[in-house]
Amino acid sequence: MPRPTATLSPLLRADGSASYTCPSTGCLIMGSVNGPIELPGRRDAQKPEEATLDVLVKPGTAQAGVGEKYVEGILKGLLGRLLLGRETGFPRRGIVMTLVVSGGENGGKVRRGESYLPILPALLHTLLLALLSAAIPMSMTYTATAVAVTSTGEIKGDPSVRDAASAVSFHVLAFSSKGHLLLSQSEGSFDLDLWEQVYEHAYATCRGSQPVTADGDISMIEDASGYNLESFVRKTVEDQIHHDYSWMNNDA
Partner 1 sequence: MASPSILLPGDDVLLDLRSTTSTPLKVGAGLRLLHESATSTPPSYTVTAIHAGLLSTDNKRNAISVLSFANHRYIATINDLVIAQIHHSSLDYLHCIVTPHTPYALLGQLAFEGATKKTRPVLKPGDLVYARVLSVGVGAGTEVELVCVNPATGKAEPGGLGPLVGGMVFDVSVGFAARLMRASSTSAPGDTDVIILDELGKKLEHKGGFEVAVGRNGKVWIDCSSNKDIAVQATIAIGRCLTETDTCNLDPIEQRKLVSRTLRAARIDP
The answer to whether 183 and 117 are in contact (CB under 8 A) is no
Q: How far is the CB of 246 from partner 1 (least distance, A)?
A: 5
Q: How far is the CB of 87 from partner 1 (least distance, A)?
A: 7
Q: Which is nearer to partner 1, 56 or 168 (CB)?
A: 56
Stretch that binds partner 1, among 11-19, 23-31, 112-120, 193-201 (CB under 8 A): 11-19
Q: Are 20 and 4 contacting, i.e. CB atoms less than 8 angstroms apart? A: yes
Is 103 or 137 the residue whose CB approaches partner 1 more closely?
137
Query: Measured over all CA atoms, what is the biggest interatomic distance in the chain, rounded to whole angstroms?
Result: 58
Exactly one of 44, 49, 193, 217 binds partner 1 (CB under 8 A); which one?
49
Q: Going residue by residue from 61 to 100, which x/- string records binding to partner 1, judged by CB under 8 A? A: -----------------------x-xxxx-xxx-------
In the region spanning residues 94 to 133, those forming contacts with partner 1, defined by CB under 8 A, are: 132-133
CA distance 175 to 141: 9
Site residues for partner 1, 206-235, by CB under 8 A, read 233-234
Closest CB to partner 1 among 39 and 147?
39
Quick one: 62 or 237, whose CB is closer to partner 1? 237
Decide: 124 and 144 in contact? Cβ < 8 Å: yes
Nearer to partner 1, 34 or 115 (CB): 34
Cα separation, 221 vs 227, in Å, equals 10
Q: Which residues bind partner 1 (CB under 8 A)?
A: 8-9, 12, 14-16, 34-38, 40, 46, 48-50, 84, 86-89, 91-93, 132-135, 137-141, 176-178, 233-234, 237-238, 240-241, 243-249, 252
